[in-house]
């Protein structure tokens, strides 16, 4: 397998999931501005939309969209326990993946625009704060999104909430989310991914 990624982008969650799963994989860095891979190929031939992540399987099939990739990785290595295999717990995990993708990831995307005014930022931050309040309440009693069970959804949340400091949204207002981040950051696979992407 080959994961197409950009350092610090949402692809980092898929990268961490691959390491958590103990799967053999290659990394191919993508220049998102130029849409060129590190080996000089046109990335749009891999993902026509030009964003990461994309996971190229050994048979040449390409899977895109982080939540789908993380589910594939978890199902490909069930012994790693990265996603419940059945029952309502599985659908709760998938629900969290969708929540993070739609309510956090996509909501905060406009904040990366350097032309966004403070007036334009305010309603976006307000919307995010409501979602973070929900998570803060959850982590008051839960170690992870599924309670005591770690999952790929936690990796996705870790990566997305890691962006907030760069967007001038300090998490000190949500100390239980900060504690969650510390717990996830200490995992060896997470450390290895951060180091491989140049963050350690």
Q: What was the pLDDT predicted at 200?
A: 81
Do residues 10 and 191 make contact, with C-beta atoms less than 8 angstroms apart? Answer: no
Q: What was the pLDDT predicted at 189?
A: 98
SS3 content of the chain, % helix, strand, coil (to 5): 55, 10, 30
Per-residue pLDDT reduced to its tens digit, 123-150: 999 999 999 999 999 999 999 999 999 9
Q: What was the pLDDT predicted at 144?
A: 98
Q: What was the pLDDT predicted at 157?
A: 98
Enumerate the H helices of the chain as residue ranges. Answer: 11-21, 66-76, 87-99, 106-108, 118-139, 152-162, 175-185, 188-196
Helices 152-162, 11-21: crossing angle, 10 deg rounding: 140
Q: What was the pLDDT predicted at 98?
A: 98
117: left (phi over 0), alpha (psi -120 to 50) or beta: beta
Do residues 1 and 55 make contact, with C-beta atoms less than 8 angstroms apart? Answer: yes
Pick one of 3.30.870.10, 3.40.30.10, 2.130.10.10, 3.40.1580.10 as the CATH number of 2-79+189-196.
3.40.30.10
Regions of the chain short of the pLDDT cut 50: none
Shared fold status for 2-79+189-196 and 83-187 = no
Q: What is the pTM of this model?
A: 0.97
Q: How far apart are CA 114 and CA 92, in angstroms?
A: 35
Do residues 5 and 52 make contact, with C-beta atoms less than 8 angstroms apart? Answer: yes
107 CB-near residues (< 8 Å, 6+ apart): 124, 127, 128, 131
Q: How far apart are CA 183 and CA 192, in angstroms?
A: 15
Boundaries of every domain in the chain = 2-79+189-196, 83-187
Q: What was the pLDDT predicted at 185?
A: 98
Q: What was the pLDDT predicted at 160?
A: 98
Q: What was the pLDDT predicted at 114?
A: 87
Domain 83-187 has CATH 1.20.1050.10: yes
Q: What was the pLDDT predicted at 190?
A: 98
């Amino acid at each position: 397998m080959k994961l197409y990624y950009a350092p610090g982008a949402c692809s980092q969650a898929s990268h961490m999931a691959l390491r958590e799963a103990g799967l053999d994989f290659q990394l191919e860095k993508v220049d998102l501005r130029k849409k060129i891979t590190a080996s000089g190929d046109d990335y749009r031939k891999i993902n026509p939309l030009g964003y990461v992540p994309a996971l190229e399987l050994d048979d040449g099939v390409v899977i895109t969209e982080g939540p789908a990739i993380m589910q594939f990785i978890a199902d490909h290595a069930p012994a790693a326990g990265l996603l419940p295999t059945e029952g309502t717990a599985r659908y709760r995990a998938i629900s969290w993946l969708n929540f993070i993708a739609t309510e956090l990831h996509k909501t905060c995307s406009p904040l990366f625009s350097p032309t966004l005014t403070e007036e334009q930022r305010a309603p976006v931050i307000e919307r995010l704060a409501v979602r973070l309040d929900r998570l803060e309440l959850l982590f008051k009693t839960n170690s992870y999104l599924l309670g005591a069970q770690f999952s790929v959804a936690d990796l996705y949340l870790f990566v997305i909430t890691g962006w907030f400091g760069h967007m001038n949204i300090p998490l000190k207002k949500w100390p239980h989310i900060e504690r969650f981040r510390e717990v996830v950051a200490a995992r060896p696979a997470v450390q290895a991914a951060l180091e491989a992407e140049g963050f350690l």
